[in-house]
Amino acid sequence: MVGSVGNGLMDLGEREKAEPLPNEFDPKDIVDDGSLPDSNGVGTKEENGNSREIVLGRNVHKMCFAIKEPEADDEVTGEREAYMASVLARYRKSLIDRTKHHLGYPYNLDFDYGALSQLQHFSINNLGDPFIESNYGVHSRQFEVGVLDWFARIWELEKNEYWGYITNCGTEGNLHGILVGREVFPDGILYASSESHYSVFKAARMYRMDCVKVATLISGEIDCNDFKAKLLQNKNRPAVINVNIGTTVKGAVDDLDLVIQTLEENGFKDRFYIHCDGALFGLMMPFVKRAPKVSFKKPIGSVSVSGHKFVGCPMPCGVQITRMKHINVLSSNVEYLASRDATIMGSRNGHAPIFLWYTLNRKGYKGFQKEVQKCLRNAHYLKDRMKESGIGAMLNELSSTVVFERPKDEEFVRQWQLACSGNIAHVVVMPSVTIEKLDSFLNELIQKRSCWYQEGKASPPCLATDIGEENCFCSMHKK
């Protein structure tokens, strides 16, 4: 009842009832270590050490900072401010620790936006289209368009031929690109390799598109033989294709030229729309000399990339670029904004473009090139040291994502915040990942591993189907 909210706001979560504030917000305090669903019915179920399943159930409230109604005399005593400051100080401490032990997600955690903290006092909102003013004056379109121009230039699309916007994340870019594809070919079938980001399949479901999954090679790239076979089963309907410029798990780059060739040779000329999901690697590839080129000089429809990954940003964001001619089908006029809106979100975070603008300006093309080289070098170092130590590992050429044997201990996985899938885990070497950090991780892994796989105990899993026989060091494939 609303009437009672003032009196009865729930206290801190169950755990906090006994002890007002935890010293650390370690995820392992929240996720059960056990293999069964926790008392709330949610948890990670582990079977045979291989198949892991998220069990749905009720929402978990073990650890949360409840909102407490201020006491009448709070303003006098300062109790409230003191309480909040202590929560924030401890939270900050835990963020420092969690940031230090972080290897699994492709986020560059190394940034300093101190110069921009002055802007946090403003409610900056880039409503609607970046290129058309709305009546709301507190925006950052000047920065947004500057950033978009930079990306359009990298992907070789003329200033007056592109349209784009700064998104909330890579997923929004995929949702947008695939929506544009569907509007261009309303009857199109969506093709995506099975290693595509899950947002691509989410889009198919949201948009009620028929979706065909295409097999992948061991590297994680799309298998164009299978793609051809699937295309030939649906010759009468146009194709909307998601091409991965760096898959989520293995960092594999689909062969864009081969995808286009496959389409054109099999009767799909002028009947396809390609969206390039460049979440992470879309921004790294332009700086690698021998990398195949993502370019609008090729018949592609859109490219998206995440801003919080390689660039680094306090919050998720992304860049979406498409062809102007496609966007007019999507636009609809929204008079009360005095703008048109061809974005997914409408209201958009106006701080993100300034963060991106700041870093792009500060580092420039050459700065990024240096960082990309450093990441690739460090990734090779990690992969080599793993293989020297008898740990199955793979690194795709041009990628900084090192895929390796999933650590047996979930606590270790959580400690280093590794992203896992089946028998494999990965480390994404970002500019914030130094050799020292890698060494510290490796030494711990090697030491732990010697316990997990002591003589007579369990043995490491076979990774041949995941990363190829030549990269596997299981008892069968060890040379």
Closest contact distance (angstroms) between CB of 383 and a copy of itself is: 19
Angle between helices 224-232 and 256-265 (to 10 degrees): 30
Q: Which helix (H) or strand (E) covers residue 81, if one does?
A: helix 79-100
Residue 384 CA: distances (Å) to CA of 84, 218, 379, 403: 47, 19, 9, 12
Task: DSSP letter for 59, please.
Answer: P
Closest contact distance (angstroms) between CB of 237 and a copy of itself is: 16
Please state, in angstroms and rounded to a whole number, the distance separating the CA atoms of residues 415 and 225. Answer: 40
Helices (H), 104-197: 141-154, 170-184
Considering beta carbons, is residue 128 or 268 the nearer one to a copy of itself? 128
- Look at residues 217, 236, 169, 232 and name the one whose alpha carbon lies nearest to residue 197: 169
Considering beta carbons, is residue 130 or 278 the nearer one to a copy of itself? 130
Closest contact distance (angstroms) between CB of 120 and a copy of itself is: 5
Closest contact distance (angstroms) between CB of 223 and a copy of itself is: 20
Residue 125 CA: distances (Å) to CA of 113, 144, 314, 334: 19, 11, 17, 16
Considering beta carbons, is residue 141 or 231 the nearer one to a copy of itself? 141
Cβ–Cβ < 8 Å for 426, 104? yes
Closest contact distance (angstroms) between CB of 419 and a copy of itself is: 5
Closest contact distance (angstroms) between CB of 476 and a copy of itself is: 25
Residues 6+ apart with CB under 8 A from 276: 177, 243, 244, 245, 256, 282, 294, 300, 302, 303, 304
Pairing of strands 318-323, 302-306: antiparallel
Catalytic-role residue among 134, 399, 400, 432: 399
Considering beta carbons, is residue 263 or 303 the nearer one to a copy of itself? 303
Question: How many residues does the structure list for the chain?
Answer: 479
Please state, in angstroms and rounded to a whole number, the distance separating the CA atoms of residues 88 and 68. Answer: 15
Strand, helix or coil for residue 375:
helix
295 a catalytic residue: no
Q: Is 159 exposed, middle or buried (0-12, 13-18, 19+ CB in 10 A)?
A: exposed
Considering beta carbons, is residue 28 or 377 the nearer one to a copy of itself? 28
Closest contact distance (angstroms) between CB of 420 and a copy of itself is: 7
Considering beta carbons, is residue 212 or 469 the nearer one to a copy of itself? 212
- Look at residues 181, 383, 170 and name the one whose alpha carbon lies nearest to residue 277: 170
Task: DSSP letter for 309, please.
Answer: I
Closest contact distance (angstroms) between CB of 316 and a copy of itself is: 4
- Look at residues 381, 124, 399 and name the one whose alpha carbon lies nearest to residue 281: 399
For the record, the structure tokens of 136 come out as 């709301």
Considering beta carbons, is residue 315 or 435 the nearer one to a copy of itself? 315
Considering beta carbons, is residue 268 or 441 the nearer one to a copy of itself? 441
Residues 6+ apart with CB under 8 A from 237: 187, 188, 189, 210
Give catalytic residue positions.
399
